[in-house]
Structure 1
């Protein structure tokens, strides 16, 4: 028994060493290719940072907390409760599939490179189409970070100052200002990614438990009938129950996407074949569980639904009804803002690397410009600038 126990760790270490040796050979080949096409990135992301990158990028329960009002009028509590389960299972299955691919070929281009590699024919066509779809989708979907933060800031301003009248241009200016932080911060990402990821991950977990405990202990409780059997299909105009339930499913599904963001950082993750797949699986599984538990707690402690629905940002009203304290409410909502803000750094880095990789493969106009890596910063500076401009135009 002791001999077997001693052999198993040794075999595991041997396997890891073999993977590391294989990666070293591939790194040298990829580095030579990249140097000819504009420069190479530097591997600096260790195991904890790789795990935290996807874990924090999703920030699922926070994103669901500040958008759950859309599900209240489309599908209602039943859509949120059961939808959280379906979304968690579905995204986990997708993550397992992508993790398997990442363990074989951890490439920055990810899906579009795999489409080009494994398509039975017309490889370049399918790779190009997948690349455009992936790049465009990531740029559009990830503008949700500044949008969510802007909504939180406006909501807090309204909550703390009854005389404040929000204007649409207020949100636009806030989103523009927010975009500057991850853009500038990404130039020094290797220097502060470890403490930044650690701080964000700690807050992600600590305030999850703090929120659940506070709401469960202090808020008035909803009935089981309301949480699991209330299907809303007569508020938003969508009268078909199936359509309303499906629309409500979006609120609890989109926060669980983005777990593949760490794939776009593959050239900067040490031992990417091992750490990237583990990061994806850990992130989607844990975030799915956290989101489900938070949404169930939220539904059971939602309080006066009419007051919540009428609020500028309903999660503020939920916390305020539970605690009765403006200070506590501001603290909880500010932490939602902070975690989503830190996640924005990860999103920005991930999208810029994806665009850089697609340019390196000649997928974009003026690809030779955006495929360059700054020789000193070891960053795709031109790709970062393009992403920032697109974000500013998009908002």
Structure 2
């Protein structure tokens, strides 16, 4: 990492010196956070409750990689088989590290709740800046809205399947899953509003469950399993259950399950205005989460494949037919419904915790875009609850939309799955576009180092590297690889899982994503271009000689 300057050097008296000017007077940590946000034209209005450990717990529960790898086991097994699942996981893990390393550079440069749409406004050519930023805002919001709906849906349907495992006479119905989905969202709303002040402590505790729960599942499954597959079978057997023309094509289609279990680390970005020392903590929490969760996920995938001697039987079991073959694998390994249920409960708890974090992330993003006048009803949605400094109206709006999306499941589970698949396609579109603009800017030398400034007046949203920065050719290679990998995932996120393609299992996410983009373009042309001028500059510029005077509200 570039260490030409150090932003997190704290003196014994709690005073921090800014790297931007060597002769300036020292500022406190709180003032430094306000300065960083002021450099982006924003006032600091949210309470900074999160530190490194609490936001690490937050991002780990967003990814829930080892849990998600089990939940989405079917996708990789169908297209790829055991060998395809393992090698596909490694490819996705490496690609995800590149994606979020690049995103970490952007987060360090501009740690704001707006994230991608704010970054695009900074990076894009001036002629298309507002338009591209606006489209990006809708893509990211719809992506996180879909992820929130998906998290609640998975919790609800896993509870259904757990009941079915223990009571063979239980017949699940689609509306059962919707009601349980709503219950999960209600819990998430309660945590994000009534107990919002202790959310960082909750996330720190969830981090412990995340790590301890991994061993609580891994050890019994491996130790108690009566039979184990051979290394040859696990690492060499591929499957083309989707009947695609080639095994290679099947392999790439099967990557999406691993992607779904490993993306969304930009959640920390959208919480940045509530994180202490965000320009340092956010990027390092993103990287730590990706490495830690990737390692845990790989361990659980390999372990479960070794104890699954009959993959076909797991997929065709009652729980497998409901989409969760890992539950049957747990039962087969332990020989105990009680033991299997306990391990399954850990995964359900973690998914519910993830839904809490999904709601927090989505609501902060909605609030930020409304603050910049990008949404209908922005005056209403952008209001903060005065006592807690929480965007409660954004929380209510986001959760209400998620509950309405849940109604789709009553009519068609396929249609609902197409809606939540919007999460992968929309977020990866935002990653690719944002990182492509960054690659262009860094290759043309448009991004300056803080040491380039002396007595300059710092205007809002100037392109200045943050403390987390991959220098030179190494940064360009990582950035370029992230763009290529993201493009591949975006392309294959639209493919159905099997041929021949019929309406019942067609992947309509391309229609969903296209509809979002077309609506955003239409609304921008007709109305939003009159009100949306990019991220609003709320504070006046300041000089490097007196950065503690961050300016007054415009």
- Of 223, 228, 246, 1:240 maps to 246
Report the equivalent of 1:323: 334
- Of 231, 256, 259, 1:253 maps to 259
> Are positions 1:112 and 2:117 aligned together?
yes
Aligned residues: 382
Query: Does the 8 Å contact 2:144/2:361 carry over to 1?
Result: no
> Are positions 1:222 and 2:229 aligned together?
yes
Structure 1 residue 225 displacement after superposition: 2.5
Query: Does the 8 Å contact 1:51/1:275 carry over to 2?
Result: no
Query: Does the 8 Å contact 2:33/2:277 carry over to 1?
Result: yes
Structure 1 residue 25 displacement after superposition: 2.9
Cα distance change, pair 261–172 in 1 and its aligned pair in 2 (3 A): same
Largest Rg, 1 or 2: 2
Report the equivalent of 1:4: none
Q: For the residues of structure 2 that align with 1:32 and 1:58, how far apart are their CA atoms? A: 28
Query: Does the 8 Å contact 2:58/2:357 carry over to 1?
Result: yes
Bigger Cα displacement from structure 2, 181-190 vs 115-124: 181-190
> Are positions 1:80 and 2:81 aligned together?
no
Query: Does the 8 Å contact 1:303/1:321 carry over to 2?
Result: no
Structure 1 residue 33 displacement after superposition: 4.5
Structure 1 residue 306 displacement after superposition: 2.8
Cα distance change, pair 133–186 in 1 and its aligned pair in 2 (3 A): same
Report the equivalent of 2:58: 53
| Structure 1 spans left out of the alignment, 5+ residues | 1-7, 35-39
- Of 16, 25, 34, 2:35 maps to 25
Q: For the residues of structure 2 that align with 1:138 and 1:238, how far apart are their CA atoms? A: 31
Query: Does the 8 Å contact 1:307/1:317 carry over to 2?
Result: no
Q: For the residues of structure 2 that align with 1:317 and 1:354, how far apart are their CA atoms? A: 38
Cα distance change, pair 137–189 in 1 and its aligned pair in 2 (3 A): same
Report 1:105-254 matches (<5 A): 105-121=110-126, 122-219=128-225, 220-233=227-240, 235-254=241-260
Q: For the residues of structure 1 that align with 2:34 and 2:145, how far apart are their CA atoms? A: 32
Q: For the residues of structure 2 that align with 1:334 and 1:26, how far apart are their CA atoms? A: 42
Query: Does the 8 Å contact 1:135/1:354 carry over to 2?
Result: yes
Structure 1 residue 290 displacement after superposition: 0.9
Q: For the residues of structure 2 that align with 1:65 and 1:12, how far apart are their CA atoms? A: 41
Larger relative contact order, structure 1 or 2 (CA cutoff 8 Å, min sep 6): 1
The two structures have a TM-score, normalised by structure 2, of: 0.66
Cα distance change, pair 261–151 in 1 and its aligned pair in 2 (3 A): same
Query: Does the 8 Å contact 1:303/1:318 carry over to 2?
Result: no
Query: Does the 8 Å contact 2:33/2:276 carry over to 1?
Result: no
Q: For the residues of structure 1 that align with 2:309 and 2:157, how far apart are their CA atoms? A: 22
1:143 is paired with a residue whose SS is: helix
Query: Does the 8 Å contact 1:58/1:257 carry over to 2?
Result: yes
Q: For the residues of structure 2 that align with 1:321 and 1:187, how far apart are their CA atoms? A: 41
Query: Does the 8 Å contact 1:44/1:190 carry over to 2?
Result: no
Bigger Cα displacement from structure 2, 22-31 vs 198-207: 22-31
C-alpha distance after superposition, 1:190-247 (max 9, x if no partner): 42223311221111111212222222222221122321222211x3343432221112
Cα distance change, pair 215–191 in 1 and its aligned pair in 2 (3 A): same
| Structure 2 spans left out of the alignment, 5+ residues | 19-28, 407-554
Q: For the residues of structure 1 that align with 2:212 and 2:233, how far apart are their CA atoms? A: 28
